[in-house]
């Protein structure tokens, strides 16, 4: 790749980055899109967290687990009786990866169709809107009249807790369990925690949610709504997650909530509520992601 100038350089190929790049290209701008994610086979995997380890694979697993749940609990109402139903976890995960791979390829075709220069590597913002692009082929510096930083998100880490993706996992680990865990403790009752908690609850795990706020989805949807949904649709009760709310996750050092080995210790922040421990074959799922942006990676000097 020779040194080039572009009207727009986008760092990050997730929904924010690729949507901006495609729209700019449709408006006849010259565009470069930089994204470093690769598949297990070493092929480019644009699409960011959402496509690769977020919304899309979660929905694929939700779809598979929904069918399993319906066979177990709802088909009999239609006169359909099935005995000895088993879930092939490996095949379920293979299907999920197939969905992701197909969409990865679709994005790359969209880049080609819109004449977007795609670099499967990293981008480092330098002075004067210059971007250092590093791929397997080497390092190059390009200039953008405009530069968009759309670096996406990374899993949140709890200080002092080692996420080994065996006993303590992030959302990427929770998308790839080789078998259904007996017990699953989910820290965070947002979209990620509720979706993947639902998947593994449908497949037989005993799931407990730990949430600092007093509502699902960080307060966007209240518990009363969820309770009404369960009351009005009784079959949801069988797949309902045990919920521990109003926990002060920020007070780990004070003993309100702590992850110790394979245990989650939790004491509600509201006074006069008892401490409880969830343990015994527990896999802890940290269902939180934070922005993937490091100002130290950018050189804003003259």
Q: Which domains does the chain have, with CATH numbers?
A: 5-151 (3.50.50.60), 155-290 (3.50.50.60)
β-sheet with 183-187: strand ranges across: 168-169, 282-286, 183-187, 206-210, 242-244
Instruction: List all residues 6 or more positions away from 167 whose beta carbon is below 8 Å from its beta carbon.
Output: 261, 262, 282, 283, 284
Instruction: Report how far apart, in Å, the C-alpha atoms of 294 and of each of 68, 108, 149, 169 are.
Output: 42, 27, 11, 23
- Contact 139/132 with Cβ under 8 angstroms? yes
Q: Please state, in angstroms and rounded to a whole number, the distance separating the CA atoms of residues 151 and 295.
A: 12
Which comes out higher in pLDDT, residue 116 or 280? Answer: 116
- Contact 133/42 with Cβ under 8 angstroms? no
Which comes out higher in pLDDT, residue 188 or 281? Answer: 188
How many residues appear in the chain? Answer: 302
Give 278's strand partners: 264
Q: Please state, in angstroms and rounded to a whole number, the distance separating the CA atoms of residues 77 and 272.
A: 44
In this predicted structure, the answer to whether residue 280 has a pLDDT above a threshold of 60 is: no
Sign of the dihedral through C-alpha 128, 132, 133, 137: positive
Which comes out higher in pLDDT, residue 251 or 73? Answer: 73
Helices (H), the chain: 15-26, 48-53, 55-73, 89-113, 171-174, 191-202, 223-232, 235-238
Give 290's strand partners: 154
Q: pLDDT digits over 204-250, tens only?
A: 998 887 776 666 665 444 445 455 554 554 444 444 444 443 333 33
In this predicted structure, the answer to whether residue 61 has a pLDDT above a threshold of 90 is: yes
CA-closest candidate to residue 267, choices 281, 253, 284? 253
Question: Among residues of the chain, what percentage have pLDDT more than 70?
Answer: 72
């Amino acid at each position: 790749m020779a040194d080039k100038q572009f009207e727009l350089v986008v760092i990050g190929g997730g929904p924010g980055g690729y949507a901006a790049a495609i729209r700019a290209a449709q408006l006849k701008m010259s565009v470069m899109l930089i994204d470093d994610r690769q598949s297990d086979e070493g092929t480019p995997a644009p699409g960011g967290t959402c496509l690769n380890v977020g919304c899309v694979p979660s929905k694929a697993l939700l779809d598979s687990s929904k069918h399993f749940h319906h066979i177990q609990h709802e088909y009999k109402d239609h006169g359909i009786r099935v005995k000895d139903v088993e879930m092939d976890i490996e095949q379920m995960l293979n299907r999920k990866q197939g969905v992701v791979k197909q969409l990865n390829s679709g994005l790359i075709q969209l880049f080609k169709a819109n004449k977007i220069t795609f670099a499967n590597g990293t981008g480092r913002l330098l002075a004067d809107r210059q971007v250092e692009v590093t791929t397997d082929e080497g390092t190059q510096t390009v200039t953008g009249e405009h530069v968009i930083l759309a670096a996406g998100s990374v899993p949140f880490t709890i200080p002092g807790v080692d996420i080994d993706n065996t006993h303590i996992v992030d959302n990427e680990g929770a998308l790839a369990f080789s078998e259904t865990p007996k017990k699953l403790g989910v820290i965070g009752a947002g979209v990620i925690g509720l979706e993947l908690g639902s998947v593994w609850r449908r497949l037989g795990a005993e799931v407990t949610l730990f949430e600092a706020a007093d509502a699902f989805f960080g307060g966007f949807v209240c518990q009363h709504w969820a309770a009404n949904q369960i009351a009005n649709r009784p079959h949801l009760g069988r797949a309902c997650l045990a919920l521990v709310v109003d926990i002060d996750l920020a007070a780990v050092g004070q003993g309100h909530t702590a992850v110790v080995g394979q245990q989650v210790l939790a004491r509600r922040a509201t006074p006069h509520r008892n401490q409880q421990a969830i343990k015994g074959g527990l896999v802890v799922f940290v269902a939180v992601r934070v922005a993937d942006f490091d100002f130290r990676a950018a050189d804003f000097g003259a």
